[in-house]
Structure 1
């Protein structure tokens, strides 16, 4: 065949191929494009499915992590509330609260109070004792977090770090206000005791992450935790390398802070590669199955020209249905299975093999292999339902667990339906899909619910503990004043129908001496001893409380008609028990007790009045010598009211200058001329007239206003002396009494320095018991300062105290005044004369002038002059008189002297 003949054959063949095979080319291109698009969409769908799966696992972890951290913060918040209600807390009290707080499981390893940058209190104390008084942390992140918490007045969670015990820990800083400062914080400056403090809790980080689920090996995730949204620095936690970009990130909110939780599946790339390979093989296989018939049809096109169109349409429809079915199965992650009931052969698709972790190359197995995969606890119930569906030709639906070859437990849901195929063979076809994530989420939610319930119980326990603390004295364990008020409010007057109650008010005697000399620890031991004795003597119907430093109250109920008898027995027993000695550091300590008892009759309107009545009875017991008991009575009540009226009148009279001086002249023993006066305090009562000190001094001492009375008398005496000078009368020496209260007045020296002294001189008269108290260095210092101002010192009532010659030498007074109890008997008693003569000799040897008071007759004056006394004072010479009467006397004496001089 020539080339010319061969060429048309080639062209014809090419034309024929082009005619019959061009659809094949187009279909091939379309198939490969569809395969590419489908593959891309499948990859995206796979990533989204994995992201959803990661979110299902990561969400509960985030919730648990937030809940755990916030529960620790809530514990610190409750503890801060206790701190704010106890401004005088000490380390012992803080340790007690810490023990209650740590009595239940928690992630906090310790809790402390930080003042500025210094740890003040800490619990547990013994293992952390070196930290007290030191810098709370050397870590810059902790210092930065503490500063932020104090500045913004909100809690701050610091970044975790390795502690000194080589454990990961992090600190939570919680600021709170502390009113009166921290008891026991001796290193704190006074000006910083009313500032904000920090409550610091240390959290064990590994335990936090473990309890939050971050380290759960069943998660099959690589997880990292960062401390900010930019992921700067090393992560707080990671359990494996993340991909370049995490598949999912969640924000963990901690108040004003936040952490970032990032995660990706551990085998994401391998799973994606395996899934892609399987999918592509199936797609290429499907493409081949589509293209092969087309080629075959093209080859037979000439012979079967009439059927080609219908065949192509069928193939296209088959391809479309196959694609949609595959997409639906892949998207839903549902596995399809079919069982031939007669043969027992079970066919599984790829998804089923993946769900059951079977060999991907095995597509067919038997029913026994499936049953063996079912969890032993679910096997009987699951197989029974399956067999019943086959027997009754009903649908099959159940949920069960399976166990893979690696021991992993998965939760599956199954549905199936019985049918007969074209050959009338009975079969059952169904689907399986995994619900493991849903079950896990339900379990996590149940755990979270249980944890929340436990937390609520813990909060309720904390509330009850706080309520108990607010109603009880922390030192003795007895009820406090607040609890006592609540208890009294419950007692109604109608209780007298069945009995009568009594209130016993107990005050300790000599407690202040023990507290001042042996310290507060000894005082606390005494208080606990008293509380133990009270508890031992009271029963469950009685109520005991500590209402003050050394004051206790017992409310007891008795059968009708026996209240007074039982209250007295109770009071006497308490006095006896409290008087028992207590050993303290090698010595015995003993305190007494005074008890005031008030019965609560049915007619009493206010329980508070019962406390007042018991207090009145207690005051009477104290007044009668202490270490005894007294019952409240109407007579005692009237006496108390009278004392109160006197006290109110004294305070009003001080404001109205109704305390005035009366002057008793003092005479030279030889010439009997007036050389001085003693200013005596008198009360010009607006209703009762002029009263002497005996009528008001005791009440004034109880009011601590004796110094104010001394001040008023001195002021008016200086004014009277100035009046004498202005009228050219004799310049008399003035003596004014001064009390111990006035002597120790901080502002006394400053006021005396500004005060003009009388021309005749000024002396302060001190009682012997004050002046000769050799144990009080403060008294000696004050007396020296008074002398330095030009004011002389006189000793009043000499001979009635217990002074010594050494004390007299130390004081060096200008004058001694012999008490009238020694001078009155000298008319008949020679020993009294010798005693006064001895006192005069002592005074002369020390250069001290002797004043004799109580000169009732002129015979007294002669004897005292002969015994050597320098100055005389008494009714035989002149009685105390008002300032005007003294002025008139001095004026008359001055005129008499002038007349005598002229004559």
Structure 2
């Protein structure tokens, strides 16, 4: 963008209003013709873009005229107009109206609006062609002459015959009735009457028009002029002479002009301008309806020169306005004037007038012009002038605001790092300056791990604080010559000079990852997150930086896919991994459509009696080619695709259906627990969806990850949790002991059960510390009247120790592996049969 265009673009664009609200094509342009902004209608009309000369969208023949119109504005004219055509395939014709809201400021942006006149121009051109053809015809031929006598003698000239397409030897109707058959049916009676009156010498019927059949079969319009030139002794017509003229073209033109007149009237009505014409020699001014409306003039009274209009002028403007009009009248030059009038209610109205004084053919001094009410525009201009006056007292402050605005346009408002726009510009700069540098380029694409959980559970305030913290870490770990940007959400990009040493890049990436993993405290809450980094580099400075950025994105995906909190360099295989992940996502979406997601059930047992107390419902994918897939194969893709909540819903509905079928068979599974993702827990439609299901009280519990259970909950989450309680759905905290839950959080959430994570259960046979920790959790839960379920019970010793520590429910491979619905039904039948014996 040119410096002068950029300066204008940074200021309020000339008028202080949004041209996107205008229905007609409109744009703001700089005084030297560069586009600052354009609305969609303008973009549809011309092939132009912001920052380019407006004349790029015009055909070359019109560029000079357009530049001249711009020049008029810079010389002081408040507005100008010019007819132009679009360039290339868009060669529509337009009237381009240009106005400079602050015409006393030559640097002010110009409002440019287009009115399409393609059809009107074509019509005018066609009309001109027809008029030319008609004039040549008039020069080259005369009207057809006819002469009729009462003795039967008739004469018809060659032109008369040619009008009708007749040759010298073609027969002509010999009587009135035969001739009338050639007349258009709608005209026959009128023609018969007109001839009778013409024969009687009625002057009103000397001329009349009608349609007659041409020899070729179409109708032509004839203008007949005739009169009785001789009468017999009885006073009856003895001889009638006249001429026939083919006025078909003229009638077509009249019809077109009538249509054009209607269109022009509509245009005038829409523009709300008043039109007048004053004859100073006669002393009368003719005003149209809108003109009388503007000036509140009576509709049935003549407007006299020196009377009504002069009295309406504002007292402070009267002398100046009258003197100005008189001076311009003497020069006989067009002029524009702005003045005020006093309305009937005493208010002041602002009027703008375009006027053209001239002397007519009768040497009468006249003036024609248009007036329109610009009160609202004037008020806006006054407000702009007030703002300008205020701005002039704060030049230094505005300079700083401009600097801040330019900075803000290229920087992230939250972290103050360069933004995506700045990164794009930097990449373009690196590509264009490739030959001037010998060192290579490295791109680090950084994505924060577990940031969304912080945002969802602690709120956006905590999320913003973590983003600022991450930005500080990046600044502290790169050189001043390096470039770090936040490109959106929790994603960052770092550009580094690269000399071929991957070890240096690895060291930087590991340092960033290590610092990102350190806990951060916000409002008394410990926040933990990490970072995954994808790296792409090239020692060849001519490499496309945008391609490197794309490769870094692929490497980032690989890093996250391999466990997060790590960095990965881009390799050819990285691209294949991304393709595999995308293929997996597509297959998962098809799996949902094909009903391939099914529940598996892992039974839970009372710790004291080993009776079945329930089952956890787990999602499995019955893949058509790979068989049963566990959640570790597809849950990451499900979260990325945004279908995790949909899978939760499917598992709940299918599990309820299985339990209902077992109960009809007499098989009892006391309770099922299903996992609920954080996204589904925040769904405002969760309550209505659950209410539609047949859920018996105490039959279902929802397992919530401890990571979504913090001391401060989102309002939607708390509302849904209250709904679950009303529906008698229990709440369980899954993976307890690995997250951030506090005693206060437990009191707020009031879960029915805590599920101790398998990591705390695994070593209790060998570790006294682990046993003490588990026992403490059980005692805290018991004091809060919360049941405890232990996951990861792999051995009988696990079960024995947990029973002694007071655990309520046991779950793990040592007791029962996850099974499908058919296998669970068989197991329940076997236990029922064993109990009966």
What range is the shorter-chain TM-score in? 0.3 to 0.5
TM-score of the two chains, using structure 1 as the length reference? 0.43
The answer to which structure has the higher helix fraction is: 1
